[in-house]
A and B are shown apart, each in its own frame.
Chain A
Amino acid sequence: MAQTEWLAPRDPDELVAALRRMTGASRIVAGGSDLMLGLHASGFHPDLLIDLSRLDGFAHVRHVDGRVRVGALSTCAQLQDDSVLATHGHGLAQAAARVGSAQIRNVATLGGNVANASPCADLVTALVALDASATVIDGLGRTRERPIADLFAPGGGSALPPGEAIVECSFAQGHADRRSAFAKLGVRSSVAVSRLNAALVVDLDRDGATVRSARLAVGSIASAAFRADAVAAALIGARIDAACPEGFTHGCMRLVDERIPGRPSWAYKRLAVRGLAEDLWGVIGASGTRPVGKDPAPRSNRPQGW
């Protein structure tokens, strides 16, 4: 068995040089929370590991020219307490706060969450609702900005070819009074509890209380999180201090009916999604900008046993 080579680029030039050397048997590692688990479980030894953790300057959150830019190496622990996101991307901060445990959040990165392309990746759902794009760099040093959805293969999994790395995700802040929220159910555990997550972004009228437009993303009922703006349209014209519009909760339930009819998880997820819809609306109403720690208590339970 050949030894795995290890490269830890410190700047973009070194990153590009490392990416140029990648083969199909090479891997990128950021936090390692998905990758190391996979390597250990499968016994696969890559020919080359590119460790991104020493790259300088890819863990930022900035609000520039109406866009919020988040470095791929930002960890969930950073994002959940980030002051820029608290006002300009509450849903993403909330999603980060709900990832795994403290130990996982200390290492799990934004780029890893996107590149791993799991159907239930929490940050992905928040990013999809925010209409985010990802900036990807290749082994020739070319960067491209692409919609997040383009990074997911149609049948599931990542569409990112070997030799490309995500360096940043970004989303427009818009001019309106914008609020965003994230909610999820279930926990990750070896007993594979059903999961469901959703994120909502609304723009308010000038009165600061009436929904002018809305976008919804739902995760874990398809190969990747997807937009369901037709369902979110039921919120247009609603006052955010009023009860959750029935059209919205029913629309969410219909989504589950359409996407996973007949699956064992269908009955559970159908009921669960109603609670999620109400949670999302509650967060928007209570102010999409309050600190993440003040959100309603999560509904998930600690997994039982090992």
Chain B
Amino acid sequence: MRLNATVNGDPVSIEVAADARLLDVLRETLGLHGAKEGCAAGECGACTVLLDGLAVNACLVPATRAQNRDVRTVEGLARNGVLDALQRQFVASGAIQCGYCTPGMLMSATALLARVPRPTRAEIAAAIAGNLCRCTGYAAIIDAIETVATHQSASHGAD
């Protein structure tokens, strides 16, 4: 079937199989390799993307679900070659080691901050509970997200 969607702000119109996973369409048809396939079973979160702003596992979502919807992947975070605040802070906080979990972590964090601009550490931990990281032990990741939230809400508060 024909899938019409917006991916990282750009309209796409492609042919997809009715039972294709969104992950395969992103990676294979659209060449977006940011979302990773870790477990293919909804457990690791490496494939996390945003569908109309909600974090979902692209390995479990049918590609058809994106019809007339907005898909965001990690490739859509940077603007004009400049990393966004979360990406920069992940680097600064040492929240990345092997980097396999990072795209998914960033998308879960992006969804959280859009909904809860000033989350508690517990809320951050809950938001990334579906994103496994076998390198960092999570503390640096939670620090990075918390730092961005603090800065963003401080700058909004000053408006």
Question: Which residues of A are in contact with B by a Cβ distance under 8 Å?
Answer: 3-6, 8, 29, 31-33, 36-37, 39-41, 45-46, 49, 51, 53, 77, 100-104, 106-107, 188-190, 302-303, 305-306
Contact = CB atoms under 8 A, between A and B. Distances in A.
B19 A107 contact: no
B147 to A, nearest CB: 21
B26 interface: no
Instruction: State the 8 A-B residue pairs at the shortest beta-carbon distance, nearest first.
Output: A101-B130, A6-B18, A4-B18, A106-B54, A4-B19, A103-B57, A103-B130, A36-B60
A32 B45 contact: no
Contacts of B41: 37, 41, 190
Nearest to A6: B18
B65 A53 contact: yes
A37 to B, nearest CB: 6
A4 B60 contact: no
A3 B17 CA distance: 7
Interface string B28-50: 00000000001111111100100
Contacts of A107: 56-57, 60-61
Given A6-B64, A101-B130, A49 B55 contact: no
A33 B19 contact: no
B117 interface: no
A101 B61 contact: no
A37 B17 contact: no
A39 B21 CA distance: 10
Contacts of B45: 101, 103
Given A31-B60, A101-B42, A306-B38, 8 more contacts: A3-B18, A8-B67, A36-B60, A45-B19, A53-B65, A103-B48, A106-B56, A306-B39
B127 interface: yes
B156 interface: no
Contacts, number: 100
Give the contact-size bracket for chain B: 35 or more
Contacts of A190: 39, 41, 43
Nearest to A51: B64
A306 B132 contact: yes
B42 A33 contact: yes
B65 A305 contact: no
B127 A102 contact: yes
Contacts of B158: none
Given A32-B60, A37-B60, A102 B17 contact: no
A37 B23 CA distance: 12
Given A4-B19, A6-B64, A104-B57, A303 B126 contact: no
Contact of B132 (A6, A40, A51, A303): A303
A17 to B, nearest CB: 17
29 contacts: A3-B17, A5-B18, A6-B1, A8-B64, A29-B62, A31-B60, A33-B42, A36-B21, A37-B42, A37-B59, A39-B19, A40-B21, A45-B19, A49-B19, A49-B62, A51-B64, A100-B130, A101-B42, A102-B112, A102-B130, A103-B55, A103-B56, A104-B57, A106-B51, A190-B43, A302-B129, A303-B132, A305-B134, A306-B38
B137 to A, nearest CB: 11
Contacts of A37: 40-42, 59-60
